[in-house]
């Protein structure tokens, strides 16, 4: 029960990494609020977790929606100790000049500007509570990019560096900020990232670039977030933890 008595908010938690992070946090004793644009999916995950979870439908690009989620998490959990900015999006893998301006704007709005909105909503709450933990889900794409995802890679590079910059500024407030950078994972965005059908042959091309020989799983990412959120990591801030099987070496 490494998060006993803690309250957490996880965005984009109706599926994939976010759903597993929420379930892991609840299993370790936290009260977890799930935020997702997919209201039905968020409710399904929260119901599956049980009494330790609540859900709120919302768009992370809308500051009003984030404010509502933060307040709901604060009330449900009796405070707010942990926020995981997990919500993310990518356009389909394609040449950088084929990406539309609308796609560019959306990838930065969801992946980067959402953290701006969340910071404005949650930092005052954490300061008032004497501290907290913020975890931003970046990507190995922001460290060692793959072709066809130039603007997505740039958005995740911003998340990775932002995690370090936030940690530096918020350390005096006892707010720890860290990033988690997964390698390509077995989620609903897999074919989007590959730009190819999910076949054994196409998977093999990507697996060949990962020394450990497999993609990341939601469990891998959730366990990394659990450590960073726990008091065991109370002297860890400003790191970007690569969950990548050696991809970025």
Which positions are annotated as active-site residues?
Answer: 152
Burial degree of 40 (CB within 10 A; 0-12, 13-18, 19+): exposed
Both tokens of residue 96? 């950088």
Give the C-alpha separation, 79 to 75, whole Å: 6
Residues 6+ apart with CB under 8 A from 36: 11, 12, 13, 14, 15, 18, 42, 55, 57, 58, 87
Beta strand pairing status for 82-85 and 7-11?
parallel
Tell me the backbone φ, ψ of residue 34, rounded to 5 degrees.
-100, 125
């Amino acid at each position: 029960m490494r998060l006993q008595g803690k309250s957490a908010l996880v965005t984009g938690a109706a599926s994939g990494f976010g759903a597993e992070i929420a379930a892991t946090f609840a299993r370790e004793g936290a009260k977890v609020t799930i935020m997702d644009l997919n209201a039905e999916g968020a409710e399904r995950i929260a119901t599956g977790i049980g009494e330790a979870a609540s859900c709120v439908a919302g768009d992370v690009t809308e500051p009003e929606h984030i404010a509502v989620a933060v307040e709901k998490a604060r009330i449900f959990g009796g405070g707010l100790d942990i926020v995981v900015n997990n919500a993310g999006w990518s356009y389909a893998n394609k040449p950088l000049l084929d990406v539309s301006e609308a796609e560019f704007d959306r990838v930065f709005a969801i992946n980067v500007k959402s953290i701006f909105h969340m910071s404005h909503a949650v930092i005052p709450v954490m300061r008032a509570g004497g501290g907290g933990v913020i975890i931003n889900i970046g990507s190995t794409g922001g460290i060692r990019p793959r072709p066809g995802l130039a603007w997505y890679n740039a958005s995740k590079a911003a998340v990775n560096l932002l995690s370090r910059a936030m940690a530096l500024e918020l350390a005096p407030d006892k707010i720890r900020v860290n990033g988690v950078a997964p390698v390509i994972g077995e989620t609903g965005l897999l074919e989007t990232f590959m730009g190819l059908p999910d076949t054994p042959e196409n998977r093999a091309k990507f697996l060949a670039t990962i020394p450990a020989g497999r993609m990341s799983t939601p469990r891998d990412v959730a366990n990394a977030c659990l450590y960073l959120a726990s008091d065991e990591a109370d002297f860890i801030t400003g790191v970007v933890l690569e969950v990548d099987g050696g991809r970025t070496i």
